[in-house]
Each structure stands twice: as C-alpha cells, then as structure tokens.
Amino acid sequence: MKRRNFIKNASLTGVGLAVGNSLLSCDDKYKKTSEKTVSVDAPKGSFPLVIATWNVKNATAKAWEVIQNGGSALDAVEQGCMVEEADETGQSVGKGGLPDRDGHVTLDACIMDKYGNCGSVVFLENVVHAVSVARKVMEETPHVMLAGKGAEQFAYEKGFPKENLLTEASKKAWEEWKKTSEYKPIINIENHDTIGMLAIDKNGDISGACTTSGLAYKMHGRVGDSPIIGSGLFVDNEIGACVATGLGEEVVKTVGSFLVVELMRQGKSPQEACEEAISRIVNKPNSNYKDFQVGYIAVNKKGETGTYSIHQGFSMTKFQENSNENLQSTHFLTE
Ligand code: SD4
C-alpha cells in the first residue's frame, strides 16, 4: 500500500499509531535516505529552555535572561529575536538585511503564543522590529496578518520609529550583485542572523517567533515562509513547536512547521519529526534539493529538541540548564 494511502486509511479506520509506525516503513525502499546521520544533539528533555536557528548566542542569552527573571516564553522569544533584528551586521534580518533586487529591505515576521494566538507582518519596510509589530497585530487587532504599507502604517500608529534599514554594507553587496543579477538561493548565507526561536518558560508554556529579511535579492513583493503560520512557525502548547529556515518556497509547499508538530503529536520525537519533514522535501519527484537549504528545529513539551537540514552547515543554538551552546545540525546530504 502506498504510504499516503496507508496514513489516510489508518486515520479513517482509527488504526492506532503504534501499529501505523511499524507499517509505515512498507514502502521505505522508495525513499531516498540520508547517507549519514550522526546525532550530535542528544535529546535531553528539561525546561526552561530556548532554542534558535543558526548561531545566535546573544539572542538566546537574552531570551534566557527574560525567562530567568520570571518572564513568559512569549516575552523571551520576542526579545531574543529583537537582538538579531537590531544587529546591523546580520544580513538576513532586520536592520542591515540584504535588499530585494530593486534595493528595498522588506521584512517578514511572526509570533505565536501558548494559546495558539498568532500575529504576522509581511513585506514590511522601514521598521526594525518586525517581530514586535507582529506581536502587536496578534494582541491589538482582530487580525492575524498585515502586509506592506498597511503593516507599516500600523507600526507607526503603535509608536515604532521609521528607519532606513539599508546599511552601506548591504547597499554595496546589492550593487555588486547587480553587475550579474544572477539569482539563485544561497545555501547557508544566514549562518548567524535570520532567526527562528522557540522557548519553554518556567511554567512549561511554549511560544515561538520568526523574523527575517527573506532571501537576498528576491523579487520585489516576495514573501517567504517565515511569517506564514504553519510553514515558518507553528506552536501547539500541548505538543511542541517548530520553526524553519532556508528556502521558504519549499517550506511553504510542505507546510513544514505544522507538519513537524503534527508528527510529534503522532508520537515522533522532535528529531524524528524534523527528519521526516526534510524527507518530504527531498523525496518529491524532481526535487532539486541539492541546490537549496532547508533546516528545522523543534521542541516537544518535555523540552526534548531536534534539528535537521538538507545540507551541512545549519546549526541550532540552545540555552538549557545554564549552558548556551551552538550545535551543528545533522543533515541529509553528505558533503
Ligand atoms: C525565506 N526562510 O524568506 C526565509 C529565509 C531564511 O534564513 O530562513 N533565511 O525564505
């Protein structure tokens, strides 16, 4: 039986998942599997904890501090992400982000709380702290998402200052790029800045946030996965949470973060769930996965974590039990 049909039938007939898991491997011979998987992230469950995409120890340290001072996971992820948004040297988030092909820095961000509330902004210009604007959308409007000029106007109404986000360094990089205008996703360009963050606070409640300037030199108006609830981020306080990075189009097509959380709901560990979500991408017919990166990080309710990517070079920063560490992700391709 085809895997997809089995899953469908299993849910229709109420077949238990324990049974399902053993049968799910029936067509595994059709699957591409990673040539090498070395587990570097022993899944040790405890909380509070903060995890984030890429090497962002300053951001996780800020979030940890918020939690240690009695703050919520929601405050922690917002303030942690703000550290990267304000850092001008980071070229794929907030101020200093690389512009689109027309020279505009446009930001995408979202946030999700323990109740499943969420807010997001897309295609936002001239405001550094997109994640905080997303939180305002969540808390102070009846909506989930604001875009472009509407999001910008809302931000000013809420007191966010107007700022030019295009730094000299990013402008120079864009002018250099224009000489060839060759567009292709750059694998692992975001090795220290674009940020997705998940936290569990002292009460055991989970929240998450994600903020980015998106792909460098994207088409004007392009929106990626990062502000799309279920794709770039998903939080279910009963189960766990996931956040994505890399080529957003591929994450959106597989609704990646929601998928990871649902797989955890069905009994998979965060690590197994991240691996399955990557396998959905690489196993698509005609997938050109060698040409792009996607990475996931996930946490479950116990504080166990997982991380997996297509290419080598992705990492997760984890603050747990007073230790702030950057851990290389395991990955599908051996390079
Ligand atoms: C996007 N997923 O806009 C984002 C880019 C990213 O680390 O994650 N960069 O497609």
Give 244's strand partners: 296
Q: How far is the CA of 70 from the centre of ligand 1 (A)?
A: 31
pLDDT over 70 (residue 7)? no
- Mutating to test ligand 1, I would choose from 122, 228, 245 the residue with most ligand atoms within 8 A of its C-beta, which is 245
Known catalytic residues?
A: 194
Q: Is the pTM of this model over 0.95?
A: no
Q: How far is the CA of 145 from the centre of ligand 1 (A)?
A: 18
- Average the pLDDT over 288-317 and give the result: 95
Asked if the structure places residue 129 within a domain, the reply is no
| Cβ of 92 less than 6 Å from ligand 1 | yes
- Mutating to test ligand 1, I would choose from 190, 231, 252, 296 the residue with most ligand atoms within 8 A of its C-beta, which is 190
pLDDT over 90 (residue 282)? yes
Asked if the structure places residue 247 within a domain, the reply is yes
What percent of the chain is predicted at pLDDT more than 70? 84
- Mutating to test ligand 1, I would choose from 84, 192, 194, 228 the residue with most ligand atoms within 8 A of its C-beta, which is 194
Q: Is the separation of the CB atoms in 92 and 196 below 8 Å?
A: no
- pLDDT tens for residues 236-274? 999 999 999 999 999 999 999 999 999 999 999 999 999
Mean pLDDT over the full length of the chain: 86
pLDDT over 50 (residue 165)? yes
Q: How far is the CA of 93 from the centre of ligand 1 (A)?
A: 9
Asked if the structure places residue 321 within a domain, the reply is yes
Q: Whose CA is nearest to atom 10 of ligand 1?
A: 248
pLDDT over 60 (residue 10)? no
Asked if the structure places residue 204 within a domain, the reply is yes
Q: Which domain holds residue 269?
A: 19-93+108-116+168-331
Which of ligand 1's atoms lies nearest the C-alpha of 108?
3
| Cβ of 250 less than 6 Å from ligand 1 | no
- Average the pLDDT over 43-48 and give the result: 82
pLDDT over 80 (residue 43)? no
Q: How far is the CA of 7 from the centre of ligand 1 (A)?
A: 30
CATH of the domain at 296: 3.60.20.30
Task: Write the DSSP string, 165-233.
Answer: ---HHHHHHHHHHHTT----PPTTTTSSS-EEEEEE-TTS-EEEEEEE--STTPPTT---STTSBTTTE
Q: Whose CA is nearest to atom 8 of ligand 1?
A: 245
- Average the pLDDT over 88-112 and give the result: 89
Q: How far is the CA of 247 from the centre of ligand 1 (A)?
A: 6
Asked if the structure places residue 156 within a domain, the reply is no
Using CB atoms within 10 A of its CB, is residue 86 exposed (0-12), middle (13-18) or buried (19+)? middle
Asked if the structure places residue 71 within a domain, the reply is yes
How many structural domains are present in the chain?
1
Q: Whose CA is nearest to atom 3 of ligand 1?
A: 214
- Average the pLDDT over 300-315 and give the result: 96
Asked if the structure places residue 253 within a domain, the reply is yes
Cis peptide before 161 (omega within 30 of 0): no
Q: Band of the pLDDT at 32, cuts 50, 70, 90?
A: low
Using CB atoms within 10 A of its CB, is residue 4 exposed (0-12), middle (13-18) or buried (19+)? exposed
List the structure tokens of 3.
Answer: 């895997």
Task: Please tell me the predicted confidence (pLDDT) of residue 97.
Answer: 85
Q: How far is the CA of 172 from the centre of ligand 1 (A)?
A: 21
Which of ligand 1's atoms lies nearest the C-alpha of 193?
7
The radius of gyration of the chain's CA atoms, rounded to the nearest angstrom, is 19
Task: Please tell me the predicted confidence (pLDDT) of residue 38.
Answer: 41
Task: Please tell me the predicted confidence (pLDDT) of residue 12.
Answer: 31
| Cβ of 215 less than 6 Å from ligand 1 | yes
Q: Band of the pLDDT at 16, cuts 50, 70, 90?
A: very low
pLDDT over 80 (residue 143)? yes
How far is 53 from 70, CA to CA, in rounded Å?
24
Which of ligand 1's atoms lies nearest the C-alpha of 247?
10
Residue with the bigger pLDDT between 193 and 262: it is 262
Asked if the structure places residue 160 within a domain, the reply is no
Task: Please tell me the predicted confidence (pLDDT) of residue 17.
Answer: 30
